[in-house]
Amino acid sequence: MILGFKARSGTGAEKDVRFIRFEDRMWLTKEQVSSFFEITPRTIDNYLSKFERELRQNGYEVVKGNRLKELKKGISEQFGNEMDFVAKTTVLGIFDFRAFLNIANRTPYDYIEIDQDSSVERDIAEKLDSNENVKFFCKLPSWFVVPTPLGNYNPDWAVVTEKDEKVYLVRETKSTHDRDQRREFENRKIDCGRAHFDALGVNFKVATNIHEVLA
């Protein structure tokens, strides 16, 4: 299964990132990350040279040997010849979702698309934008999904904050915390999403206001 993250760039062009499914996690190559943020692969290399330790702690890995063979097989099955540059490489750096957000925190990417009819989304976006501790945020589009036994789950927000330390957040915004006021099917999907992001070391919560989004 290919997971998608589709949003718009600062130029207004639609950007489409298809995650590589490998070892039950979502991964991106350097070329995919640089394409999404409209920066060069060399810029990614510069980030790696300056912040490699932090990126490795947050989900960046270099794959080689038999593990790389399995990854290449998975890429071929999912993408066909679209990523033929991978075929000849002997080592490959890959970024999981948290490392992707870490790179986002260092780029000039500053475009977000929200539902213009949703006052809740607009209010949260404006308050995130004005908070000095928020280094990056985005409204995750419907194409960004987490596979669960109940079907695909699409969380609402991804946020990177930094005060004493860098924190990666994924938030589901709801009008209430009362599970009885929500559909049980929806609750169970949220529970699956929480387990997924907990495994990635990403802070996941259901939030009803901006204070809970940032808590």
pLDDT in tens, 137-190: 888 867 677 878 888 888 989 898 988 888 889 999 888 899 999 999 999 999
Asked if 58 and 151 sit in the same domain, the reply is no
Task: Say which CATH number the domain at 140 has.
Answer: 3.40.1350.10
How many structural domains comprise the chain? 2
* Conformational region of residue 53, where left means phi above 0, alpha means psi within -120 to 50, and beta covers everything else: alpha
Q: Tell me, what's the pLDDT at 17?
A: 64
- CB burial of residue 112 (10 Å; 0-12, 13-18, 19+): middle
Asked if 58 and 128 sit in the same domain, the reply is no
Asked if 182 and 130 sit in the same domain, the reply is yes
Give a yes or no: residue 26 inside a domain.
yes
What is the span of the domain harbouring residue 16?
Answer: 3-104
Asked if 129 and 84 sit in the same domain, the reply is no
Query: pLDDT for 48-100, tens place per residue?
Result: 999 999 999 989 999 999 999 999 999 888 888 878 888 889 999 999 988 98
Give a yes or no: residue 114 inside a domain.
no
Contact by Cβ (8 Å): 180, 169:
no
User: CA Rg, the chain, in Å?
Assistant: 17
Distances (CA, A) of 143 to 5, 40, 135, 153: 5, 24, 23, 10
pTM value is 0.68
